[in-house]
């Protein structure tokens, strides 16, 4: 790694000049912000990295010169072979020179690329460092914008840096080629050039067309992903209503459009591939034809033909790269403008904050959103800032921190600051690091702080105590915990002045009280410090030294609690307004609160126990480990299994595959043929040395050459192969997506409970995209590279059969290099992406916690941290680049050896060979180097991409739930009575867990109304899941109307029951689709259902009525309306059995009442099971079932149960329902 280490130093040294750039920006800040300085970024970068640029130019020039030496040497070699009486040493000299030219050329090129890529990383590093530095001083910056600048725009510069030299080198190469070609063929070169120029617009047209198709397809893709996400989020509802087929159809329709576009796109691609492959061929055909036709005396001999062909091959590369580089340049230009605007943006102006030591700590006449606030705050006092919402409390805080624009006046602060923001800001680090925040550890004080901030009980719950890694944005802490950590950070920092922006709002009341006593209050840890506390809670105000009341951005009054109360001003009104509410909360719930949720625990325990279970769930170490391990290991076998390739080809269709391969074979056979014909043509020059060249012979030559070439590139083979592969790959995409989708929809609920949705969505987005677009491309380029190499080797063997002996050791060497590289490169690529994300996440954190970082004055530490994360990433990127260069040099060496041996053998076999065949073999060899390099690239790419097939396949083999329809169909109109019997029914969620229902036996009669109650976790919702067979029985059975539900298909069962679920889930689409996705019912029936659900007037008021579009998750309807839509669904279904999983808190009383009355009237002749959370809703049911720990403990009419002093009557007492009331209902 020493190389990488030294490279770190290199990056750090080269960052020094960046400071110039900054200062430049600052001086020009005086101009209005609209006019930022332009055009300095590129200049500064060029100045900084001039040494690198000049070196790269030098290498490139040598390389470009050598590129043109090879064709000249080839010419001499052919002359040597054709000439009977030349000396042998000349030939050996030419062979060695060819070899040296090739080797030096490859070394120069690789050095050049290495420099380019280093330039790329350095530019990226400096830009990111500059952006990061700017963020810490800049006025306003959003996370999205800055992360975008870092990732996209810095990346663009990196791309550009890799190819920047092509800008001058491509035109140079093109001009030189034309000059040399002119020397060979004279003016007829222009025919060739014209052909090339003609092909450019054709390509441009194809590209533009492809782009529009791509854009159309992106829309389809987004649409499909939106539906998929919805399906996965609402999968439970789909299962309960047996709606999967309808949604599967919707997705497949979109997918069909997408595939149609994909097909057109592939056809276009195959045409452009075809044009590109034909190009060199058509060019040489045009040139030679014109050359021979123009003048009788122009005879095409071997020297001319093959020198010209290798020059045309040289031309291909610059012609192809120039447009690409230009488009890179255009993109980089856009980025330059954005970066310049950003880096020259205004900085925060902190000049308004003075640090002069005077007695009063903070004196502040202050800015506009605050109109002239003047305050004097004494050292060591506790000042509360209160005021209505929007009165400027937080602005006052920002002002003290210097985050606001100062209009006039100043602030004087003496001493250090600590700041607790309203929304806690937590770093992705251990809990301990979050609290210590970069100061040194003082164990005693640390423990004291933990105790005072009530964090000790939380530490016991965390898996690793204070060493627990806290996820991004504090994801594994509750709101209150985050707030306490944030407070602990401030307390630990031991500053002189504490600015606390409402730190007590996020914590529970009793915790808030504790914090006030132990930290903020007169007896707390901070009693000697100056504390400015913005607060909403009135209970603490009597203990404060001084109260500042803000109204509309000005101080309306301030003084102590007693004086303000006596003043009878704004403050006492504020107290009256809020005070009453506070007292309400404090009252014991002695009124008959009919709506009180069932809780028998005292509130404090309630809180801790619920958080406990949450913690356990979030933190069961097994789960965490499982997720991380799978995330890292997620299918990276050391070797991608061969079966994956087979599986993909099987999806393409084996017949298709065979013909595609045959097409490519045909193409290259034609290629070899046309080249052999050309060499034969050139030998005519020797054959007819002293005669005139017969015309029909000439036309024949041109004709056959054309035919062979055209069939090689054109109509017959290549087009045939690419068109076929377009069809085949689209077929593979269709098959794989269809299997994936239908399998995911048939997966049991437990699969969705244990698999993060993001992971499934990723299979549908990223992996399907790879199967659609990347794999076909990789496969195609792999096949054509492979064929090109094979055909070249065949040509050389035809010329000099001994070459076959050389092939064997070369190919063995090549194979080992390839294996070695592919495995290394794959790991390095992964390291790159793994080390890249911390850069962005650290960055995002910094932006969101800027005010905190600035308040504590930790900018420098964060800059350092950023540089460290950058360097880690640089190391892996650098290693990857170096490994690429390692590979390229080895491979090009193989290429050079091929050239050398083909030349050497030609020299040895001099007497027996024609000039033409030598020219052919050596010019093919010169071309092979590039192709060898590409073959490795494409192999490694293909191997990286084929993993997608594996990942998709992993979800295609997920175990399915029971079949949707079985041979045994229930009788028509079942269930007609609606009787339900549970017979010793047991169930568990997953095989390894305990039973949730432990043997339930009961009968529910026809049209009976039954309420089900029980504490949380008693098994109430499991009961509904069992009826719908979302959970399969572990023992016993459920019988509905004499049919054992385990024997029939899931859809037959689920379509005959109806449920009104707890949380109303709606899908995007029309209102009508949400009620009746299969279009089974007539409009009248739908309207009837809406009328009964009290939605008719609302829907009639909508402009589209039934076709009203519901937005994602029903966002454009209120929660109450969504609940009513769910009711309408149930009414429309008219099943004999209704299960009502009562909506806990989502619904307002009015809607609740509507639902209750509708159910009583509309479902009078159905069996209704109500899972209740509020007792008063089930007091009028025929019987009540009380569940406890998965068993039925009481089952009788509500009146009976109230008489009997059991669990139910205890619950009723808590809810304030007495026997008297229940009879009144």
What are the CA-CA distances from residue 537 to residues 503, 509, 534 (Å)?
Answer: 11, 10, 9
Q: Is 1001 exposed, middle or buried (0-12, 13-18, 19+ CB in 10 A)?
A: exposed
CB 878 within 8 A of CB 7: yes
Angle at 1189 between CA 1184 and CA 1195, to 5 degrees: 20
The answer to whether the bond into 427 is cis (omega within 30° of 0) is no
Question: Residue 469 has what DSSP assignment?
Answer: B
- Per the listing, tokens 């880690």 go with 872
Query: What confidence score (pLDDT) does residue 54 get?
Result: 92
Domain boundaries, the chain: 14-343+638-956, 353-582, 980-1224
Question: Which contacts (CB < 8 Å, 24+ apart) does range 64-67 have?
Answer: 64/169, 64/172, 64/173, 64/176, 66/101, 66/104, 66/105, 66/108, 67/105, 67/173, 67/314
CB 1159 within 8 A of CB 1140: yes
Residue 594 in tokens: 């009919």
Do residues 678 and 762 make contact, with C-beta atoms less than 8 angstroms apart? no
Nearest to 293 by CA among 688, 690, 701: 701
CB 412 within 8 A of CB 354: yes
**What pLDDT is stored for residue 107 in this prediction?**
92
Predicted pLDDT at 709: 55
Whether residue 317 is predicted with pLDDT greater than 80 in this model: the reply is no
Give SS3 for 334.
helix
Q: Which two tokens stand for residue 1044?
A: 């054992």
How many other C-beta atoms lie within 10 A of the C-beta of residue 1033?
A: 19
DSSP three-state, residue 558 = strand
- Confidence grade of residue 58 (pLDDT, cut at 50, 70, 90): very high
Cβ pair 747, 700 in contact under 8 A: no
Task: Supply the pLDDT for residue 686.
Answer: 59
pLDDT, tens digit, 9 for 90 and up, residues 420-443: 888 888 888 888 888 888 888 888
Q: How far apart are CA 563 and CA 551, in angstroms?
A: 18
Residue 118, number of CB atoms within 10 A of its CB: 20
Residues 1108-1162 pLDDT 10s: 888 776 677 777 788 888 888 888 888 888 888 875 445 566 677 777 788 888 8
| Region of poorest pLDDT, from 186-195, 736-745, 1185-1194 | 186-195
Predicted local distance difference test score (pLDDT) of residue 302: 65
pLDDT of residue 336 exceeding 70, the answer is yes
**103-to-66, 114, 433, 769 alpha-carbon distances in Å:** 10, 16, 54, 40
Please tell me the predicted confidence (pLDDT) of residue 248.
92
Q: Which residues pair with 816 in a beta bridge?
A: none
Mean pLDDT within 989-1013: 85
Residue 1207 has which token pair?
A: 């669990």
**Residue 252 banded pLDDT, cuts 50, 70, 90:** very high
Average pLDDT, integer, range 682-709:
59
Q: Is the pLDDT of residue 600 over 60?
A: no
Query: Each residue of 203-215: pLDDT tens digit?
Result: 788 888 888 888 8
871 three-state secondary structure: helix
**Measured on CA atoms in the order 787, 790, 793, 794, is the torsion positive or negative?**
negative
* Residue pair 434/427 in contact by the 8 Å Cβ criterion: yes
What separation in angstroms does the CA of 995 have from each of 73, 657, 990, 1046? 84, 52, 9, 18
Q: Mean pLDDT score of the chain, rounded to an integer?
A: 77
The confidence score (pLDDT) of residue 578 equals 58
CATH fold match for the domains 353-582 and 980-1224? yes
Say yes or no to pLDDT of 575 above 70: yes
| 806-815, 925-934, 1060-1069: range with highest mean pLDDT | 806-815
* Gap between the Cα atoms of 1132 and 1140, Å rounded: 15
Q: Does residue 850 surpass a pLDDT of 80?
A: yes
Region 283-308: mean pLDDT is 73
Q: At what angle do helices 302-343 and 915-956 cross, to 10 degrees?
A: 40
Angstrom distance (rounded) from CA 320 to CA 309: 17
Look up residue 754 and give its two tokens: 């244990």
> What is the C-alpha to C-alpha distance for residues 288 and 281, in angstroms, rounded to an integer?
11
Predicted pLDDT of residue 892: 84
Which position has the token pair 């100056």? Answer: 530
Look at residues 1033, 1021, 1024, 1041 and name the one whose alpha carbon lies nearest to residue 962.
1033
Among residues 383, 372, 486, 364, the alpha carbon closest in space to that of 434 is found at: 486
* pLDDT at 1095 exceeding the cut of 80: yes
Q: Choose the weakest-confidence range: 15-29, 403-417, 548-562, 1009-1023.
A: 15-29
Confidence of residue 18 (pLDDT cuts 50, 70, 90): very low
CA-to-CA distance for 66 and 1171, rounded, in angstroms? 84
539-555: per-residue pLDDT in tens?
788 888 888 888 777 78
* Residue 59 confidence (pLDDT): 94
Range with lowest mean pLDDT among 154-168, 505-519, 1049-1063: 505-519
Chain CA centroid to CA 1220, Å = 60
Residue 128, CB-side half-sphere exposure with 13 Å CA sphere: 34
The more confidently predicted of residues 322 and 241 is: 241
Residue 585 pLDDT grade (very low, low, confident, very high; cuts 50, 70, 90): very low
- Nearest alpha-carbon partner for 863 in 836, 838, 843, 835: 843
Give the rounded percent of residues in the chain with a pLDDT score beyond 90: 4
Residue-wise pLDDT for 372-402, tens only, equals: 667 777 888 888 888 776 677 777 887 788 7
Find out whether 185 and 283 touch, Cβ atoms under 8 Å: no
Mean pLDDT of all residues in 215-222: 85
In whole angstroms, give the CA distance from residue 1178 to residue 1180. Answer: 5
Span of 49-63, 652-666, 913-927, 1062-1076 with lowest mean pLDDT: 913-927
128 class by beta-carbon count within 10 Å (0-12 exposed, 13-18 middle, 19+ buried):
buried
Q: What is the mean pLDDT of residues 604-620?
A: 33
At 100 the pLDDT is 92
DSSP assignment letter at 424:
-
pLDDT of residue 1153: 76
Q: Report residue 408 as tokens.
A: 């006039």
353-582 adopts what CATH topology? Rossmann fold (3.40.50)
- The band of 738, judged by pLDDT with boundaries at 50, 70 and 90, is very high
Q: What is residue 751's predicted lDDT score, i.e. its pLDDT?
A: 85
In 10 A of CB 1218, how many CB atoms? 13
Cα-based distances in Å from 448 to 232, 444, 451: 47, 6, 5
**pLDDT for 251:** 92
DSSP state of 748: -
Task: Say how many Å lie between the first and final Cα of the chain, rounded.
Answer: 81
Tell me the C-alpha distance between 996 and 985, whole Å: 10
pLDDT at 183 over 60: yes
Tokens of 974: 């079942």
Look at the block and give the residue holding tokens 């951005």. Answer: 553
Residue 980's DSSP bridge partners are 1004, 1040
5-19, 226-240, 596-610, 830-844: which is most confident: 226-240
Strand pairing partners for 253?
none
Q: Which two tokens stand for residue 964?
A: 């949707």
Tens digits of per-residue pLDDT, 696-728? 565 666 665 655 555 454 456 777 888 888 889
Token match 């619920």: residue?
A: 610
Quickly name the fold that domain 980-1224 has.
Answer: Rossmann fold (3.40.50)
Cα 701 to Cα 139, 190, 684, 915, 922, distances in angstroms: 74, 21, 10, 17, 22
In DSSP notation, 896-948 reads HHHHHHHHHHHHHTGGG--HHHHHHHHHHHHHHHHHHHHHHHHHHHHHHHHHH
User: pLDDT-based confidence at 141, cuts 50/70/90?
Assistant: low
Q: Poorest-confidence range of 173-187, 901-915, 1144-1158, 1202-1216?
A: 1144-1158
Structure tokens at 922: 């050596």
What is the mean pLDDT of the segment spanning 270-276?
A: 77
pLDDT of residue 22: 40
Angle (nearest 5°) at CA 988 between 983 and 993: 150
Give helix then strand counts, H and E, for the chain.
44, 22
Of residues 934, 936, 945, 960, the one with CA closest to residue 732: 945
Quick one: fold of 14-343+638-956?
ABC transporter transmembrane region fold (1.20.1560)
Q: How far, in Å, are 383, 497, 531 from residue 377 at the CA level? A: 8, 11, 9
Residue with tokens 């040489």: 284
Q: What is the pLDDT of residue 699?
A: 60
Q: Residue 848 CB: number of other CB atoms within 10 A?
A: 15
pLDDT band of residue 191 (cuts 50, 70, 90) is: confident
8 Å CB contact between 1215 and 1177: no
pLDDT in the model for residue 258: 92
């Amino acid at each position: 790694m020493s190389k990488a280490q030294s490279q770190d130093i290199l990056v750090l040294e080269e960052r020094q000049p960046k400071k110039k750039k900054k200062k430049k920006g600052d001086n020009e800040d005086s101009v209005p912000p609209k006019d930022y300085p332009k055009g300095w970024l590129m200049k500064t970068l060029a100045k900084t990295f001039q040494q690198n640029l000049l070196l790269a130019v030098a290498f490139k020039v040598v390389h470009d010169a050598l590129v043109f030496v090879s064709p000249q040497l080839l010419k001499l070699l052919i002359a040597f072979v054709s000439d009977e009486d030349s000396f042998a040493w000349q030939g050996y000299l030419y062979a060695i020179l060819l070899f040296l030219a090739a080797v030096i050329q490859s070394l120069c090129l690789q050095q050049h690329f290495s420099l380019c890529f280093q330039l790329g990383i350095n530019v990226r590093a400096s830009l990111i460092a500059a952006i990061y530095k700017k963020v810490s001083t800049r006025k306003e910056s959003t996370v999205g914008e800055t992360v975008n600048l870092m990732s996209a725009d810095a990346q663009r510069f990196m791309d550009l840096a890799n190819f920047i030299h092509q800008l001058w080198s491509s035109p140079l190469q093109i001009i030189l080629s034309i000059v040399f070609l002119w020397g060979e063929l004279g003016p007829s070169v222009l025919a060739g050039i014209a052909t090339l120029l003609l092909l450019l617009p054709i390509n441009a047209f194809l590209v533009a067309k492809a782009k529009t198709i791509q854009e159309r397809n992106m829309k389809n893709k987004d649409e499909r992903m939106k539906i998929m996400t919805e399906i996965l989020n609402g999968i439970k509802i789909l299962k309960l209503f047996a709606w999967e087929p309808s949604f599967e159809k919707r997705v497949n329709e979109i997918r069909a459009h997408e595939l149609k576009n994909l097909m057109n796109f592939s056809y276009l691609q195959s045409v452009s591939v075809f044009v590109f492959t034909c190009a060199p061929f058509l060019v040489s055909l045009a040139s030679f034809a014109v050359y021979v036709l123009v003048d009788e005396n122009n005879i095409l001999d071997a020297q001319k033909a093959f020198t010209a062909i290798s020059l045309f091959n040289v031309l291909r590369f610059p012609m192809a790269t120039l447009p690409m580089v230009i488009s890179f340049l255009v993109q980089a230009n856009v980025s330059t403008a954005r970066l310049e605007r950003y880096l020259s943006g205004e900085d925060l102006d902190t000049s308004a904050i003075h640090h002069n030591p005077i007695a009063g700590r903070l004196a502040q006449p202050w800015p506009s959103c605050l109109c002239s606030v003047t305050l004097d705050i004494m050292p060591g006092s506790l000042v509360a800032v209160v005021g209505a919402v929007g009165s400027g409390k937080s602005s006052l805080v920002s002002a003290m921190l210097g985050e606001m624009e100062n209009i006039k006046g100043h602030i004087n602060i003496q001493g250090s600051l600590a700041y607790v923001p309203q929304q806690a800001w937590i770093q992705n680090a251990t809990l301990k690091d979050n609290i210590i925040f970069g100061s040194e550890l003082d164990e005693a004080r640390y423990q004291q702080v933990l105790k005072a901030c009530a964090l000790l009980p939380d530490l016991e719950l965390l898996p690793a105590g204070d060493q627990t890694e806290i996820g991004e944005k504090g994801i594994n802490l509750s709101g209150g915990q985050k707030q306490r950590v944030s407070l602990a950070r401030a307390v630990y920092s031991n500053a002189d002045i504490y600015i606390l922006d409402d730190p007590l709002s996020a914590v529970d009341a009793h915790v808030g009280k504790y914090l006030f006593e132990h930290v903020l209050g007169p007896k707390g840890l901070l009693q000697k410090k100056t504390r400015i506390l913005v607060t909403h809670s009135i209970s603490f105000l009597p203990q404060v030294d001084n109260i500042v009341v803000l109204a509309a951005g000005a101080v309306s009054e301030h003084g102590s609690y007693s004086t303000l109360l006596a003043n009878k001003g704004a403050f006492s009104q504020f107290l009256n307004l809020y005070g009453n509410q506070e007292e309400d909360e404090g009252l014991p719930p002695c009124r008959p609160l009919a709506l009180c949720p069932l809780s028998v625990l005292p509130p404090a325990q309630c809180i801790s126990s619920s958080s406990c279970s949450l913690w356990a769930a979030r933190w069961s170490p097994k789960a965490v480990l499982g997720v991380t391990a799978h995330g890292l290991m997620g299918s990276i076998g050391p070797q991608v299994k061969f079966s994956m390739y087979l599986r993909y080809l099987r999806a393409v269709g084996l017949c298709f595959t065979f013909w595609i391969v045959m097409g490519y074979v045909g193409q290259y056979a034609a290629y070899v043929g046309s080249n052999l014909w050309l060499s034969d043509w050139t030998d005519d020059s020797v054959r007819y040395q002293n005669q005139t060249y017969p015309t029909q012979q000439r036309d024949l030559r041109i004709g056959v050459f054309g035919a062979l070439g055209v069939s090689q590139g054109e109509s017959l083979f290549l087009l045939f192969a690419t068109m076929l592969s377009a069809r085949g790959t689209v077929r593979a995409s269709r098959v794989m997506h269809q299997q994936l989708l239908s399998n995911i929809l048939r997966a049991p609920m437990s699969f969705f409970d244990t698999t993060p949705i993001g992971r499934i969505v990723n299979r549908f987005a990223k992996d399907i995209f790879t199967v659609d677009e990347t794999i076909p491309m990789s496969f195609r380029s792999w096949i054509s590279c492979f064929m090109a190499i094979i055909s070249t080797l065949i040509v050389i063997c035809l010329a000099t059969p001994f070459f076959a002996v050389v092939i064997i050791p070369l190919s063995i060497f090549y194979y080992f290099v390839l294996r070695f590289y592919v495995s290394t490169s794959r790991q390095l690529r992964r390291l790159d992406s793994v080390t890249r994300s911390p850069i962005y996440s650290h960055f995002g954190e910094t932006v969101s916690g800027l005010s905190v970082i600035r308040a504590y004055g930790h900018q420098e530490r964060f800059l350092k941290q950023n540089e460290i994360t950058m360097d880690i990433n640089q190391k892996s990127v650098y290693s990857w680049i170096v490994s690429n260069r390692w590979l390229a040099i080895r491979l090009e060496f193989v290429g050079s050896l091929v050239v050398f041996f083909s030349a050497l053998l030609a020299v040895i076999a001099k007497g027996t060979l024609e000039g033409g065949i030598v020219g052919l073999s050596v010019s093919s060899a010169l071309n092979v180097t590039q192709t060898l390099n590409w073959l490795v690239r494409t192999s490694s790419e293909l191997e990286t991409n084929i993993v997608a097939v594996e990942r998709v396949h992993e979800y295609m083999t997920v175990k399915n739930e029971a079949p949707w329809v079985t041979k045994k169909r229930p009788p028509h109109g079942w269930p007609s009575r609606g009787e339900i019997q549970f017979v010793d029914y047991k169930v568990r969620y997953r095989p390894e867990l305990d039973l949730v229902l432990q043997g339930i036996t009961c009968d529910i009669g026809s049209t009976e109304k039954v309420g089900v109650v029980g504490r949380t976790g008693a098994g109430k919702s499991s009961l509904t899941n069992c009826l719908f067979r979302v959970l399969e029985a572990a023992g016993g059975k459920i019988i509905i109307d004499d049919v054992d539900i385990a024997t029939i298909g899931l859809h037959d069962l689920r379509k005959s029951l109806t449920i009104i679920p707890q949380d109303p889930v709606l899908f995007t689409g029309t209102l009508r689709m949400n009620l009746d996705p299969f279009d089974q019912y007539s409009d009248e029936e739908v309207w009837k259902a809406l009328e009964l659900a009290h939605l008719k007037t609302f829907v009639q008021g909508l402009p589209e009525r039934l076709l009203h579009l519901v937005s994602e998750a029903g966002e454009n309807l209120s929660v109450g309306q969504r609940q009513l839509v769910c009711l309408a669904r149930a009414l429309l279904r008219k099943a004999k059995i209704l299960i009502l999983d009562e909506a806990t808190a989502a619904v307002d009383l009015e809607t609740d009442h509507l639902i209750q009355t509708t159910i009583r009237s509309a479902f009078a002749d159905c069996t209704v099971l109500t899972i209740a959370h509020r007792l008063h809703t089930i007091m009028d049911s025929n019987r009540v079932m009380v569940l406890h720990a998965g068993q039925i403990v009481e089952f009788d009419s509500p009146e009976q149960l109230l008489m009997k002093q059991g669990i139910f009557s205890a619950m009723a007492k808590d809810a304030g329902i007495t026997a008297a009331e229940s009879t009144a209902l």
